[in-house]
Each structure stands twice: as C-alpha cells, then as structure tokens.
Amino acid sequence: MKLYNPLKRQWLDVEINLPERRKGLIVCPTFFDMHTHVRLNDQEDYDSLSKAAIVGGFSAVLIQPNTKPCIENEEVLKRHVELAKDKPVRFYWSVSLFGELEPDGERTLCYSNDGIEYDTPKIVKAFRTKRPHLLLDHSQLHELGGIFYEGVALRVEKRPINSEAVSIFRNVMLGLEYGFKEFHIQHVSTKLSIETIQHSKKYAKVTCEVTPHHLFFSMDDVKSTNFKINPPLATEQDRKALLEAVEKDIVDVFATDHAPHPEKQNDFEKAPFGTSNIEVAFSAFYTITNQLEKTIEKLAFKPREILNLKMPQCSEELLIVDPYAEWIVDVKKFHSKGKNSVFDGVKLRGRIIGVKLSGRWVYWDGEFLTDEG
C-alpha cells in the first residue's frame, strides 16, 4: 500500500494488515482538528463527538471555550476533563482569553476568544493581564452586530464584509504591544483578511485556517438557516481567493469549526450559528481542492506543528482512505448530535474507510469495531 508522509511530503510503500483487502486504498496519519465545539446540556457531548471525530478521521481535537458555562476557570475545566476521560479520541482544550485560566501546554494548549463577545477595551485588558501565549483569534468587530455580510440577498441585519480584516489587524497589533507574539486566525472568510494576514506576518508569528464551508460555498448559496455561520459566507470572489490562498500555502490549516445543533429553527434571526462538519470535513476539503496530499498535510501535520504536538506513530495510529469513493452526505446517518450541516445532500469524493487508534482498529467501513467507539 501507499502511505503519505506529510512531514516529509513523500509517498512510501508499506505493508499493513487490514480488516479487509481492497484495491485503491491509501494510508495516512490521523487528523487533528484545531477548531471543535462541544455543547453538553443534552446536546453534543464527548461520547457523540468522539464517535463523529473517528468517522471523520480525527484522533484528537482542540475544544473551543464557548461552552455553557465557558471554559474560563479550573472548576469548569475539570468537569470537561472528567467527561472526556477514557474516550478513544484525545481531547485538548483552549481556554477563554477573558477568564482565570492560562494555558499549561499539556491539556490546555492556547487561549481562544472564539464564540465570546468582546470589544476593544475588553481585549486590551486581557492582553495587559495575561501571560503571553498562542491566541486562537476569532476576528470580529462584535460591536457592529450583523449576522450576514453586506451583499447577501436576505432581509437580515448585516455587517461590513471588511470588518473581519479590520479585527485581524487590530487584535494582532494590540496583542504585540503587550508581548503576545503568536496568533492563529480562525475560519478566515474573505480576500482582504488573507491579505491582512500576509501583512501581519511581517510583525508576528501569524498562522490561519479555513473551513470546508467557506471553501465550498458563497453567500449566493444560502438557502436555509444551516447556512447561518459565523463568520458568514462571503462573495464568490472571496471564496476563490481562499482557494488560491490554500494553493499558495498562505492558509496553514484545514479546520472543521464543527458547531453542532440537533436542529435549527427556520428563522435567520433566532437560529444559532454553525454547521456540523467533523464527519465530512476531509471529503469536503479534498473534493473542493482536488489535492490529496495538501489536504492530508493541513489536517494531520500543520495543526500539530502549530500546537507543538508530536505526530503519532503510524504503527499505533493511522487512517485508511479511499480517494476514489463518491458519496452523498446524509445528516440522518451522522453520529454527531449535530444534524445542521450545510453539506447535507452534497456529493463528495474521498472517504475515511478505516481508523486505527492505540494499536487497534476501532472503525472500519461504517462500523465501530470496539465498545469504546
């Protein structure tokens, strides 16, 4: 079989004992998602998220802090750690930039302001008082409001499409003044944001991610509340600019921004933000970019590099992928409790066939092989 090593960017011939022999399968390292949401409170929990992550090929994920209650103190963090205990997927956490916690580099890897409303005085106060560390930055001018960008054909409150880029520059420059040197810009959505990130790299260590939905769709595709996403879908020109940034490796990471909700009400003003992506992310990224090696690199290697985590040994953890499989997404078959996917009914290419974790096969061709899965 052929194994792709994203660290060395080369294909290797390997012999692997599979539960079932098939032609055309390839091997690669397991994925790491830098941007995952867990809900608790009878919604997406660590059991359902663990299953969904495995189906998507993710052996580890980084949880964002905007849970209820927010991950901003030791008591809440301990609850999450206990709930995630003994799951086959490894869970790490980002902690609120505005709370009591600081990253420890082991279970809590960085700060994040994702899903937390803030303004300029609030983020300056945080930069002044916190020990500098990597910040995952949800770049938004919250004081402007708006649930979609200007230009969308909906009668809803809108925000300037350039507001994301303005926030990126604001947050990086302000953070630098108070000793922060590493910034990872989350779910980039516009052409100007990409250009702002390139400019910001002159002053700080700045990396960024894109989601499958921002590469796949534009504001012209909005047809239901499942397409209410934060940041919103931008123009077709912006979508193409994001794809070009992927091609040029300006975009470092592919991340899911898995934001599950059991069902969204049919009201754009009242429906929550987010789309459930973790089970389909690999296929969506591969389909829209048509680049298998780059997709593996940005899902498996780059997130771990940014977070200073080691790549897993393929003898213990690996994925079996069918790059030729074509399939249609059906949210009713999701293991996630989130059925709110913009990819429902979309035809995708490439599929995770097998997942090996801790030295044993836990998933094969749609079936979990151990009780832990």
Strands (E), the chain: 2-5, 10-13, 26-28, 31-36, 58-63, 90-96, 108-112, 135-137, 148-149, 158-159, 182-185, 205-210, 253-254, 318-328, 347-357, 360-364, 367-368
CA distances to 41, 78, 295 from 74, in Å: 19, 6, 36
* Residue 297 DSSP code: I
What whole-number distance in Å separates Cα of residue 123 and Cα of residue 126?
5
Please tell me whether residue 340 adopts helix, strand or coil conformation: coil
What whole-number distance in Å separates Cα of residue 348 and Cα of residue 290?
11
Provide the 10 A C-beta neighbour count for residue 249.
Answer: 11
CA distances to 34, 100, 140, 281 from 109, in Å: 10, 15, 22, 23
* Complete edge-to-edge strand list for the sheet that includes strand 318-328: 10-13, 2-5, 26-28, 318-328, 347-357, 360-364, 367-368
Q: Find, among 370, 368, 360, the residue nearest to 316 by Cα.
A: 360
As annotated, the active-site residues are 257
> Tokens for 71?
């991950």
> Tokens for 20?
């079932």
What whole-number distance in Å separates Cα of residue 312 and Cα of residue 327?
29
What whole-number distance in Å separates Cα of residue 70 and Cα of residue 101?
11
| Cα angle, residue 129 at apex, residues 125 and 134 outer, rounded to 5° | 95
Contacts of 333 (CB under 8 A, 6+ apart): none
CB 62 within 8 A of CB 94: yes
Which phi and psi angles does 349 have, rounded to 5°? -120, 140
